[in-house]
Amino acid sequence: MGFTAEALEKTVLQGEPDWLRERRQSALATYERLPAPSKTDEEWRRTDVSRFNPTEFSHLEHLDGLKLERPAGLPAGVILKPLRMAAREHPELVEPRLFSLVHADRDRFAALHAAFFTGGTFLYVPDGVEFDEPILGQHFSHQAGTSVLPHTLIVAGRGARFNYLDEYIAEDENETGHRSGSTEIFLGEGAQVGYVAVQKWGRKVWHFADQRAELQKDSTLRLFNVTLGGKFSKTRVEASLAGEGSNAELKAIYFASGDQFFDFHTLQDHRVGNTRSDLLFKGALQDVSRTVYAGLIRIEKHAARSDAYQANRNLVLSDKAKATSIPMLEIDNNEVRCTHGATVGPVDPEHLFYLRSRGIPLATAKRMLIQGFFGDVLDRIPFEHARKLVEAELESRIG
Amino acid sequence: MATVPKVEVGTDYKEKYGFFVPEEYVFKAKRGLNPEIVKEISWMKQEPEWMTNMRLRSLEIFRKKPMPKWGADLSVIDFENIFYYLKASDKQSKTWEELPPDIKATYDRLGVPEAERKFLAGVSAQYESEVVYHSLQEELTKKGVIFTDTDSALRDHPELFKEYFGTVIPPADNKFSALNTAVWSGGSFIYVPKGVRVDIPLQAYFRINAENMGQFERTLIICDEGSFVHYIEGCTAPIYSTDSLHSAVVEIIVKKNARCRYTTIQNWSTNVYNLVTKRAMAYADATMEWVDGNLGSQITMKYPSVYLMEPGAKGDVLSVAFAGKGQHQDAGGKMIHVAPNTTSTITSKSISKGGGRTSYRGHIKIYPGANNCKSFVKCDALLLDDESRSDTYPYNDVDAENVTLGHEATVSKVSDEQLFYLMSRGINRAEAETMIVNGFIEPFTKELPLEYAVELNRLIQLEMEGSVG
């Protein structure tokens, strides 16, 4: 059937409000207009999408099929429902925000996602509301050869405090398909949000995701991304520090094996002064996998007294695996502290020697070093439930 | 006006150079760029046919290549409005009085001797170091070292020249290397034979030749097996130039076990676009070191690179950039690991002041099969006020096994604590800031010969006072 206007009409547009219909149609037009990314474009120079043909996967799966775990005793006023339902029932909250951070015209894949997004969550936490129990959103894929395009929209009112987990789960590790999992997070003044995304799609899918947050005055975001699935996975993690005193912590771990390819692009955009961002992406690579990390810290002209940190560490466990790391800075103000670093390398032979000299077998020693490598960043996972989940996932992969 | 003394131009030329130019056809500089001008340049220099053809081919390549879309904004360069070749005599037509006052003032402050000043300012092509130069030449010749300007080398050492010219940086490498190959003039040519160590640094300075500061200079250095040479290009005093575009090419071949160090201190006046391609090939166990300081020019785009061709080769770039008002220093380094067991380091220090912009742009490429390589990049940037800007763009491509790669960068202002400490000891603010900046670039200055280091420190002091540029 292809990703056409008819397909759009027949599938997702049914019963949607006019503003959303228009938005999807315009995104579809953008998708049709934009060319495939070219190899000369810096962002795509190392990321080959020439073999990805979205029309092969134009069957959309489960329009509202997600499992939302609604914690008992959720405070009054909190809205938690599938995004499409929220678009109908709370247009005043959804319409001004949806796709205002993650722009449909960024590239072809973002446009396709904006036109055909299916499942997804809307979470609204009013001013001053706090709760401890995390909200869990699970997005499943059940079939091979389909597109599953969930979108999460989170709005945190002034002083709201809560945690949210998105888990992207494939029923069959070996299914093919096209997957996304984009998220927009709005943090009101003084809000504190913990957000974890665990991507465990099948090992043969194409995956594109944009996770972007906007932080108002004195708000704090703790974002944690875990990338494990996909034959090809491209994720952009971006924080826009729009209010003084805001603080974004962006952390990620990835574990690539087989012939997986992961691409991460990050942005720490300090638009005003007295803002802080702290980014750490850590990954291990096995077999013939490849990863690309490219991150930018941008300190805009008047963003004095900003403090930004960016680090990407890659542990290359096999001779054939390959990690590329490009940490970038654009600093337009001098009253700042910016540091970044990147490393790519194998397990330190001296560490290995030390452990083996203590009688620890090679395989065990290696496993310990990998666990140690991830250990410090695992501690930064904002809430217990997600930490346990991620630890278990890693454990099963380190073996 | 007094009568001009009669000069026997015709006979003199014929005796000296073996060719004859009737006076009415003396080469007049023309603006613009076309095959006729390129042919004329080549004809003027009496070059062999292969060079003329290479120039013409390069011009074609230059025309076909698009302008780079990255880096600094180069859209204002008008290639049709540039003189591509000036005879040495034409270059000296300026007078001391015509020089901008700030350049003269800087010479005063730096304490550059009168004769040297005129040389630097392009007023005189004669720098009175003839004696030094001659005794140096004698010693070099004894050792079999060739140190001459590139035009003479083409004439006097045609075989050696043809073997290496354009092999490290072919014309098609980039738009500006194509331009340089089409219209090059001047530059240095050095050949160091097997096992010879040249103890004193060689400086273009010593060579009495107006063209060594040409717009399109071309330098070729060949270090044969086990040899060593240190070449110094430029100087700390500002070089005044009326030309708006400088596009040099430097090619270096460092053979087995040899070591070459190439030190540059670039301080063009701030109307200059400085777009330079510098590259070295290092063979087994050879070491190539670029020590690169960029202070002047309006825009500099320069990324000295080392191709590590055989196991054990080592590449090193140490770079300092200072960007003041209206300046953009887009500098860095490239390390291309072609062979296994090769190592490289890049250290970059940049300072921006008064709205200036410094960008570090680097590339580490490790080819498939170049296993067990190590590379480390460190970039530090200092921003002296809130109008200035600093960027870091490191590109890393690793295609080999068991590679260790590290990158570190910091951007900061002059630390309040350090400033407070110095000021509490009775040092005024300006002086304290200068001390901190000099301390910041110390890893660079300590690699320079003493007289350069002293001059550089003094120059930084001037830049800090804002009395230059």
> At residue B115, does pLDDT exceed 60?
no
Mark which of A300, A323, A344 sits at the end of a domain.
Answer: A344
pLDDT tens for residues B277-287?
999 999 999 99
pLDDT tens for residues B410-426?
888 888 888 999 999 99
CA dist A276 and A273 (Å) reads: 9
Subunit contact A329:B409, Cβ cutoff 8 A:
yes
Predicted pLDDT of residue B469: 33
Domain that holds residue A49: 5-344
Do A167 and A138 meet the contact criterion of CB atoms below 8 Å apart?
yes
Mark which of A306, A321, A344 sits at the end of a domain.
Answer: A344
Residues of A in contact with B406 (CB under 8 A): 341-345
A324 and A376 in a single domain? The answer is no
> At residue B237, does pLDDT exceed 70?
no
A320 at B interface, C-beta within 8 A: yes
A322 and A366 in a single domain? The answer is no
Predicted pLDDT of residue A279: 96
Subunit contact B391:A326, Cβ cutoff 8 A:
no
Subunit contact B386:A324, Cβ cutoff 8 A:
no
A111 and A178 in a single domain? The answer is yes
A330 and A223 in a single domain? The answer is yes
Separation in Å, CA A337 to CA A309, A327, A350, B277, B397 = 8, 16, 33, 33, 28
A166 and A179 in a single domain? The answer is yes
Instruction: Report the residue of B378, B402, B405, B433 to disrupt the A interface, i.e. the one with the largest count of A CBs within 10 Å.
Output: B405
B interface toward A at CB cutoff 8 Å? 70, 352, 371, 381, 383-386, 388-399, 401-413
Provide the pLDDT confidence category of residue A205 given band limits of 50, 70 and 90.
very high
Instruction: Report the residue of B393, B433, B437 to disrupt the A interface, i.e. the one with the largest count of A CBs within 10 Å.
Output: B393
Q: Roughly how many angstroms between the first and final C-alpha of chain A, as a whole number?
A: 42
Q: Which of B109-123, B303-317, B422-436 has the lowest mean pLDDT?
A: B109-123
Subunit contact A329:B383, Cβ cutoff 8 A:
no
Residues of A in contact with B401 (CB under 8 A): 319-320
Spatial CB neighbours of B454, under 8 Å, sequence gap ≥ 6: none
Predicted pLDDT of residue B398: 84
Give the max Cα distance, chain A.
Answer: 69
CA dist A7 and A11 (Å) reads: 6
- What are the residues facing A209 on neighbouring strands? A235
Q: Is ipTM > 0.95 here?
A: no
Tokens encoding B176: 């500006």
Residue B107, classed as helix, strand or coil, is: helix
A286 and A354 in a single domain? The answer is no
What is the crossing angle of helices B49-64 and B175-183, to 10°?
150
Do A209 and A238 meet the contact criterion of CB atoms below 8 Å apart?
no
> At residue B26, does pLDDT exceed 50?
no
Predicted pLDDT of residue B114: 59
Q: Which of A29-33, B304-308, B464-468 has the lowest mean pLDDT?
A: B464-468
Q: Roughly how many angstroms between the first and final C-alpha of chain B, as a whole number?
A: 39
A46 at B interface, C-beta within 8 A: yes
> At residue B61, does pLDDT exceed 80?
yes
Subunit contact B386:A316, Cβ cutoff 8 A:
no
Q: Indicate the residue of B396, B404, B413 with minimum beta-carbon distance to A325.
A: B396
Give the closest-approach CA distance of B252 to chain A in angstroms.
28
Of chain A, the percentage scoring pLDDT greater than 90 comes to 67
Predicted pLDDT of residue A157: 96
> At residue A159, does pLDDT exceed 60?
yes
CA dist B71 and B301 (Å) reads: 8
Average pLDDT over residues A337-346: 89
Q: Which of A262-276, A310-324, B210-224, B313-327 has the lowest mean pLDDT?
A: B210-224
Predicted pLDDT of residue A65: 58
Give the closest-approach CA distance of A62 to chain B in angstroms.
40
Number of domains present in the structure of chain A: 2
Average pLDDT over residues B348-359: 92
A231 and A173 in a single domain? The answer is yes
Provide the pLDDT confidence category of residue A180 given band limits of 50, 70 and 90.
very high
Residues of B in contact with A341 (CB under 8 A): 406-409
H or E segment and range at residue B29: none
A272 and A228 in a single domain? The answer is yes
Predicted pLDDT of residue B95: 62
Q: Which of A45-49, A225-229, B223-227, B252-256 has the lowest mean pLDDT?
A: A45-49
Q: Indicate the residue of B394, B405, B411 with minimum beta-carbon distance to A338.
A: B411
Q: Which of A268-272, A357-361, B179-183, B458-462 has the lowest mean pLDDT?
A: B458-462
A340 and A351 in a single domain? The answer is no
pLDDT tens for residues A347-382?
888 999 999 999 999 999 999 999 999 998 998 899
Predicted pLDDT of residue B91: 43
Residue owning tokens 């040297």: B116
Give the closest-approach CA distance of B375 to chain A in angstroms.
10
CA dist B105 and B98 (Å) reads: 13
Residue owning tokens 């802080």: A276
Q: Put residue A218 in one of left, alpha, beta given phi > 0 → left and psi -120 to 50 → alpha.
A: left
pTM as predicted:
0.81
Q: Residue A45, Cα to own-chain centre: how many angstroms?
A: 21
Mark which of A328, A344, A360 sits at the end of a domain.
Answer: A344
Separation in Å, CA B433 to CA A101, B235, B324, B422, B464 = 42, 24, 15, 9, 8
A367 and A295 in a single domain? The answer is no
A300 and A359 in a single domain? The answer is no
Subunit contact A330:B389, Cβ cutoff 8 A:
yes
A307 and A368 in a single domain? The answer is no
